[in-house]
Amino acid sequence: MRRLDRLALALALVPARALAFTFESPFTEGCHERITRAALARVGWPSGAHPPGLSANESLRLARDLSFALPADAQDPWSLALLLGARDNDLHGYAADDAQELAAVHAAPDDQREHCLRAPTDDGADGDRSALVACRGFIVAELTAALGSTPALDLGATEPHTVTLPFTGRRAIAVQRYGWHMGRALHALQDSFAHAFRTPDGRRVRHVLNYVDHAQGGGYDEARDGHDHIAALDGCDPASLGEAHRAAMATDASQAFLRAVNEGSANAPERVGRGAAVVDAWTAIEPGCTAANRYCDAPELSEASAGCAAGPPSTPRSPVSALAALPVVAVLLRSRRRALAALTIAAALAWMPRDAHAQTPSPATPNEPGLLAIRALVGASIDRGAMAASLGAHLRLSSRFSLGVTAEYNPWYSLATASLFAGVFNAYLTGSFAWRRVGNLVLHSSLSAGTSVLLADLIGADAGSAGVYVGASILGLTVDLSRHVHVVVLPATVSVPIPQLAGVPIVYQQYRFSIGFEWDT
């Protein structure tokens, strides 16, 4: 099977993730963010409080280094915390394209309550009720955490929580406590509309869906475990009647929840009680709906296009599902096996029989000691968004070894927000070793070390901060075009600028493909 055919097959078989109402990513629309913002706009903050504003520099840092676009009506630290919390049930601090980690997050049995889904123990006729009880318990726990332990609600209180940012990576940042936990509570309440069959008015639950048993495979039974998750219920497209209705009901429920917490007594237990009463009202059970009667002829079944579970899909995947599988390719590219394979090839080349080099040119070759070479390269990262342009000079110390100095501009880009960042300036020394010459080809490897300087402000990092740079070209190729002009191809370069070492380091590791020219002087 050809390589491209194998890749296409892998993409087709990768399951879509269980996201319920989707969060904003390069492949999905921001349903949770939209619903949460709409509910907040109708109700506001407790006691009519108004959030503090952001400075111009803070807004600029957020615009550069958030994994989603912060809308104009959310340009404040409280709304930011609310939206980050509303996304966290699905992310748990990981990046939206980290398929390997998110697969484990979404299939964790103990975390199904965060999405109002059945856990492995929520079986049979009582499974709907026990799943909703667990979901209610999660919402109440988050509401209690949002209010804090002090008698008066402190909207200025902050907590550290882990998020993954496009450029500065995975780190703990201080966010408003109330907004973060309320966002997580709202996410679960909203998911009760995407993860359940409901009565036509949306007020009562007929059946709670199951993701984890079907995703893990090997024993899923609908009669016992409940209907599997339906990917078609995850959207909030206003053009789709079903999606628009669920989003509207989720917005109404979110609004009612926020209003119950805001209004009335400011006593924390009473706020919790009012919020819990809203959850109870929106998650009441409609009895008698089972698989035998198609869950009271649930209209949601007519929207089902494919179950969102591990294993081959029952119907063809949509293009969005195929695109959502692309992060898996990046995960595979990060595998240590690639480096091991390249090193194996390099070692094999080093021990090639000398007969293979019978076409070596005359003694005046590009490997001749004492020659100075000027090298210009351009490249791009194949996993994390980055580009690179470099100019360097290399002095050949022997027929095999050379030492060089390089200056490099390394801008970064985020697929999540389609934004380009100034990135870093790298300056480093490089030691190269030539393995073998085959005709007009020279095979070589190299190691680099130097410094890296951040060129613009990011969240938790200031422009001008300097750290270290390390890199390695596992196997490169130089092709002679003439006696003094050569093409250089570096298909397997690991580049690691670390422009900030203090506090939480910024490590922007890249796997690059680079190409350029070299001129002998």
- CATH number of domain containing 422: 2.40.160.20
In this structure, which long-range contacts are made by residues 347-355, counting pairs with CB atoms below 8 Å and at least 24 apart in sequence? 349/435, 349/436, 349/443, 350/435, 350/436, 352/436, 352/438
**Angstrom distance (rounded) from CA 207 to CA 291:** 9
| CA 38 from centre of chain | 25
Within this chain, do residues 245 and 381 fall inside the same structural domain, yes or no? no
What is the pTM (predicted TM-score) of this model?
0.80
19 part of a folded domain: no
The verdict on residue 14 lying in a domain is no
Please tell me the predicted confidence (pLDDT) of residue 115.
96
* Residue among 448, 460, 456 at smallest CA distance from 501: 460
* Integer CA distances (angstroms), 487 to 356, 360, 370, 505, in order: 21, 17, 20, 36
197 plus 56 within the same structural domain: yes
> Are both 278 and 401 inside the same structural domain?
no
Same domain? 320 vs 394: no
CA distances from 153 to 47, 146, 147 (A): 10, 9, 6
**Are 465 and 500 within 8 A, CB to CB?**
yes
In 18-113, where does DSSP find H-type helix?
Answer: 31-43, 56-65, 77-91, 99-106
User: What 8-state DSSP symbol labels residue 449?
Assistant: E
Find out whether 483 and 455 touch, Cβ atoms under 8 Å: no
Query: Is residue 111 a part of any domain in this protein?
Result: yes
In a domain, 2, yes or no: no
Number of domains in the chain: 2
Same domain, 263 and 377: no
248 and 344 together in one domain: no
Among 264, 278, 263, which Cα is nearest to 188's?
278
Confidence (pLDDT) at 367: 57
Structure tokens that stand for 236 in this block? 């909030």
Q: Does 293 map to a domain?
A: yes
Judgement on whether residues 326 and 341 belong to the same structural domain of the protein: no
Separation between Cα atoms, residue 205 and residue 282, nearest integer Å: 8
Residue 506 phi/psi, 5° resolution?
Answer: -100, 115
Q: Establish how many alpha carbons lie within 13 A of residue 204's alpha carbon, considering only the half-sphere containing its beta carbon.
A: 12
Q: Are residues 342 and 261 in the same domain?
A: no
Per-residue pLDDT 10s for the chain (521 aa) are 433 333 333 333 333 444 578 988 877 889 999 999 999 999 999 999 999 999 999 999 998 899 888 888 899 999 999 999 999 999 999 988 888 888 889 989 999 999 999 999 999 989 999 999 999 999 999 999 999 988 889 999 999 999 999 999 999 999 999 999 999 999 999 999 999 999 999 999 999 999 999 888 768 899 899 999 998 898 999 989 999 999 999 999 999 999 999 988 889 999 999 999 999 999 999 999 999 999 999 999 998 753 333 333 333 333 333 333 333 333 333 444 444 444 444 444 444 444 444 444 433 344 566 689 999 999 999 888 999 999 999 999 988 999 999 999 999 998 777 889 999 999 999 999 999 999 899 999 999 999 999 999 999 899 999 999 999 999 999 999 998 999 999 999 999 999 999 888 999 999 999 999 999 87
Q: What is the pLDDT of residue 461?
A: 92
Q: Which of 307, 330, 353 is the last residue of a domain?
A: 330
Residue 21, domain member (yes or no): no
C-alpha span between 127 and 123 (Å, rounded):
4
269: exposed, middle or buried (Cβ count in 10 Å: 0-12, 13-18, 19+)? exposed
Q: Residue 410: inside a domain, yes or no?
A: yes
| Cβ contact 139:188 at 8 Å | yes
Coil/strand/helix, residue 372: strand
Which domain-ending residue is among 304, 330, 356? 330
Inter-residue contact 225 to 118 (CB < 8 Å):
yes
Q: If we measure between CA atoms, which residue out of 401, 372, 418 comes closest to residue 520?
A: 372
CA distance 225 to 301: 17
CB environment 237-267: b (16+ within 10 A), e (fewer): eeeeeebebbbbbbbbbbbbbbbbbbeeeee
- Return the pLDDT at 74: 92
Q: In this structure, how many other beta carbons lie within 10 angstroms of the beta carbon of residue 281?
A: 14
Taking CA atoms, 321 is separated from 11, 258, 326, 344, 506, in Å, by 9, 33, 9, 36, 31
Please, which residues bridge with residue 379 across strands?
A: 388, 514
**CA 413/CA 165 separation, integer angstroms:** 12
Long-range contacts of 129-134 (CB under 8 A, 24+ apart): 129/285, 131/208, 132/192, 132/205, 132/208, 132/283, 132/285
Burial of 354 (0-12, 13-18, 19+ CB in 10 A): exposed
Long-range contacts (CB closer than 8 Å, 24 or more residues apart) made by 414-417: 414/67, 414/166, 414/167, 414/385, 415/26, 415/97, 415/385, 416/25, 416/26, 416/67, 416/68, 416/96, 416/97, 416/166, 417/66, 417/67, 417/68, 417/69, 417/166
Angle between helical axes of 177-194 and 31-43 (0-180°, round to 10): 120
Residue 169 gets the label, from left (phi > 0), alpha (psi -120 to 50) or beta, of left
> Both 346 and 313 in a single domain?
no
User: Pick from 330, 365, 381: which residue ends a domain?
Assistant: 330
Backbone angles phi and psi of 300, in degrees to 5: -60, -25
275 and 355, same structural domain?
Answer: no
Separation between Cα atoms, residue 176 and residue 184, nearest integer Å: 13
The whole-angstrom separation of Cα 449 and Cα 441 is 26
Are residue 290 and residue 375 in the same domain, yes or no?
Answer: no
Enclosing domain of residue 80: 28-330
In a shared domain, residues 271 and 294 = yes
The answer to whether 194 and 246 have CB atoms below 8 angstroms apart is yes
Q: What distance lies between CA 487 and its chain's CA centroid?
A: 36
| 9: in domain | no
